[in-house]
Chain A
Amino acid sequence: GAVVSQHPSRVICKSGTSVKIECRSLDFQATTMFWYRQFPKQSLMLMATSNEGSKATYEQGVEKDKFLINHASLTLSTLTVTSAHPEDSSFYICSAQPTDRVIYEQYFGPGTRLTVT
């Protein structure tokens, strides 16, 4: 149980284009999902908290107009990187938190490696 999928796993795009990444909880409902990015050999950096039916909460320094988050259902959140630039190249990982749990454990998707050329 507690499986999270993420699509695509790898994407290469040209500078100035937009990329959408989907995160789905396959066997549980998730009112709350999280989006992280991770640079090589560095720790996870939380970008935003995504709550179903409401606006995402962004961490300090993360541009909400550049990283658009939509959490339209209890099993799906999307992250759209708009007008991508080479410095946006990174490993993006989502996680989902089961709605029915009191404890804050998060289950991660396999990640999306974004390369902007």
Chain B
Amino acid sequence: GQNIDQPTEMTATEGAIVQINCTYQTSGFNGLFWYQQHAGEAPTFLSYNVLDGLEEKGRFSSFLSRSKGYSYLLLKELQMKDSASYLCAVGDAGNNRKLIWGLGTSLAVNP
């Protein structure tokens, strides 16, 4: 089956660093994606990893280990506006070009 796990909720303090983990067990793999979704809004694309290693994009970085079925999203210098849900998704194998979605991690950034 297809399974993506990430913590349901996390809290962190403004200015700190937080790491959101994602583990996956899927029948195929076409990239690992991270999206941010603020309450009442649609998701916005943050990053993707296809190869193992760390991809850095400003305050956000994403890491992938395909052999372990593991990824994390690292958010540095947290700001209040980073309070949102963070969705991990895996590109499905085959020709359907779908993403398989985790349930999301709700991050609350406190002052």
A residues adjacent to B (C-beta < 8 A):
2, 6, 32, 34, 42-44, 46, 49, 57, 91, 93, 97, 103-111
Contact = CB atoms under 8 A, between A and B. Distances in A.
A46 B92 CA distance: 13
Contacts of A108: 42-45
Interface size class of B (residues with CB under 8 A): 20 to 34
Contacts of A2: 45
B81 interface: no
Contacts of B91: 103-104
Given A49-B97, A105-B48, 20 more contacts: A34-B98, A42-B103, A43-B101, A43-B104, A44-B87, A49-B96, A57-B96, A93-B42, A93-B43, A97-B97, A103-B30, A103-B50, A104-B97, A104-B98, A104-B99, A106-B99, A108-B42, A108-B43, A110-B41, A111-B41
B7 interface: no
A13 to B, nearest CB: 20
Residue of A6, A34, A104 most packed against chain B (CB within 10 A): A104
Contacts of A105: 31, 33, 45, 48
B30 to A, nearest CB: 5
A108 B87 CA distance: 13
